Amino acid sequence: MSQIQVNNLTFSYEGSPDLIFDRVSLVLDTDWKLGFAGRNGKGKTTFLRLLMGDYEYQGTIRTGIRFDYFPYQIKAGDMERRAAELAERWKPFCEEWRVICELDRLGVDAEVLYRPFGTLSPGEQTKVMLAVLFAGENEFLLVDEPTNHLDGQARETIQEYLSVKKGFILVSHDRTLLDACVDHMLVLNRSTIEVQQGNFTTWEENKLRRDSFARRENEKHLREISKLKKAAAENKKWAEKNESTKIGFDPVKEHDRCKATRAYIGAKTKKMQSRVRNMEVRMQREIEEKEGLLQDIENPAELKLTPLIHRKEVLVRTEKFGMRYRDAGEPLFRDLDLEIRQGERVFLHGANGCGKSSLMRAILAASGEGGEMSWEETGRITLASGLVISRVSQDTSFLRGSIADFCRERNLPESLYCAILRQLDFGREQFTKSMEDYSEGQKKKALIAASLMTPAHLYLWDEPLNYIDVFSRIQIEDMILRYQPTMLVTEHDRRFREKIATRVVEIGNAAGYGKNA
């Protein structure tokens, strides 16, 4: 067991005036199973890269242990190389038998090591990388979002695998995964960084209690400051009024007063002024105690949605529907009978490659928005006439250029679009960047913001939460439950699905059926 000591860590990217980390100090134990959470763009991946020594920084990071990072870099031509060759490059001197043992724990046959990496499924590629990662010795492992784009079964396998490991940092926005796999949380709050024992739910419950206490303390300080201001103003007024009577008097009207009274009035005025100064000191102390109370409180803006009401109850109906891509032998699925009724939030569930995204493309094609079809269909798909669809695609690689270009292309009011991005915790500095330079989480938020601005009868969201931080996930959950839009969603975040879905439809090879969530 050893420690990672971070002292006065300060870092900003070259050419940027914004500090990612400002004099951060913390101590981590290399035996911990450490979950790592925070808003998109707060610096989670940057912190891991600093541990790896990829960037220059101010301050010190001291430890007697090596670091290794997931995911490994895939270079040009790597997809044609055998996985075993890549493993030798990723972790030199690692013995192959150790990798095979880790693959067995992940439920993967060792033969995948001898196949070209590009022929492996996304789940197999992830598991090979994790097997190589955990096959070393005397290392502290940095695991950066291992479950993105993976189906539910692959996520459960990785969850079970990580739950029996230790000595790692796990960056993830999947609350179920964090609860199952970690015993400490490292969280980038709005203004501070904290380390706390327990899983994500433990941290969240403690944060809610702290935030509630901070709000009560803030209200108490505000009341005290208001009282002190009022009392100080009254005392100052009396002191000024008293001082004005010190010089000059009417001997007829004020027969009991003489010149010696001036000293008494002066002393009384001085006492009042002293009282005012004491109140001002107390006010300053109250203000200082109030400062910082709310600096880490999450007050997410209330997102809005304007779903359209259709005159028909059933918006989408498929009858014995099937799909097969023209260059594929087997159909993705067939005999799918599905109805999407107004007000339902239907979640598609199944393994990667079973046709969930393809079904969404077929619905878009039936509405006239999908472009050229590269697949063959069986059965029938019927849409309510005049159906307006709003979409969030799984792919973000097409995002290019400025926000102004994006809004112009989609006919969106730029000022309103930027306001929604701000509600999703976009910093104003992001508005001047090209969209291709956004983080993956920020790209997803850009697509979600556009969908929220599009009034629609049906919202098609294809893995909308990939890379989205947990705070924004909760914000989006609250919005959906408030406005109750009709949705067809593919999403592997189990907690999100359990909260939002009114029905789950299983899609698999040659079969499809619905069941109540």
Residues 6 or more apart whose Cβ sits within 8 Å of residue 200:
35, 37, 175, 178, 179, 182, 185, 470
3-205 has which fold? Rossmann fold (3.40.50)
- What does the block give as tokens for 205? 């419950």
Can you tell me whether residue 14 is helix, strand or coil?
A: coil
Per-residue pLDDT tens over the stretch 230-244 = 766 766 676 666 656
Confidence at residue 264, expressed as pLDDT on a 0 to 100 scale: 60
Q: What is the pLDDT of residues 356-377, one digit of tens each?
A: 999 999 999 998 886 677 888 9
What CATH architecture is 314-516? 3-Layer(aba) Sandwich (3.40)
Q: What is the largest CA-CA distance in the chain?
A: 117
Q: Are strands 458-462 and 487-490 parallel, antiparallel or unpaired?
A: parallel
Lowest mean pLDDT among 258-272, 445-459, 461-475: 258-272
Specify the 3-state DSSP secondary structure of 55. Answer: coil
- Choose the weakest-confidence range: 108-117, 271-280, 447-456: 271-280
| Predicted local confidence at residue 515, as pLDDT | 39
Helix axes 83-90, 122-133, angle to 10 degrees: 40
pLDDT digits over 249-282, tens only? Answer: 555 555 555 555 556 666 666 676 777 677 677 7
Q: What percent of the chain has pLDDT over 70?
A: 85
DSSP 438-492: S-HHHHHHHHHHHHHTS--SEEEEESTTTT--HHHHHHHHHHHHHH---EEEE--
Token representation of residue 257: 């007063």
Its pTM stands at 0.75
Tell me the pLDDT tens digit for each residue of 120-130. 888 899 999 99
| Residue count (the chain) | 517
Residue type, 437: D
Which helix (H) or strand (E) element contains residue 85?
A: helix 83-90
pLDDT of res. 223? 77
Distance CA 18, CA 8 (A): 16
Q: What is the DSSP string of 333-395?
A: EEEEEEEEETT-EEEEE--TTSSHHHHHHHHHHHTT-S-S--EEEEEEEEE-TT--EEEE-S-
Whose CA is closest to 216, among 300, 279, 297? 297
Q: What share of the chain is helix, strand, coil (3-state, %, to 5)?
A: 40, 20, 35
Please indicate whether residue 272 or residue 354 has the higher confidence score (pLDDT).
Answer: 354
Q: How far is CA 507 from CA 373, 435, 496, in A?
A: 21, 34, 19
In whole angstroms, give the CA distance from residue 51 to residue 55.
9
DSSP-based three-state secondary structure for 7: strand
Q: Average per-residue pLDDT in the chain? A: 86
38, with CB counted inside 10 A (0-12, 13-18, 19+), is: buried
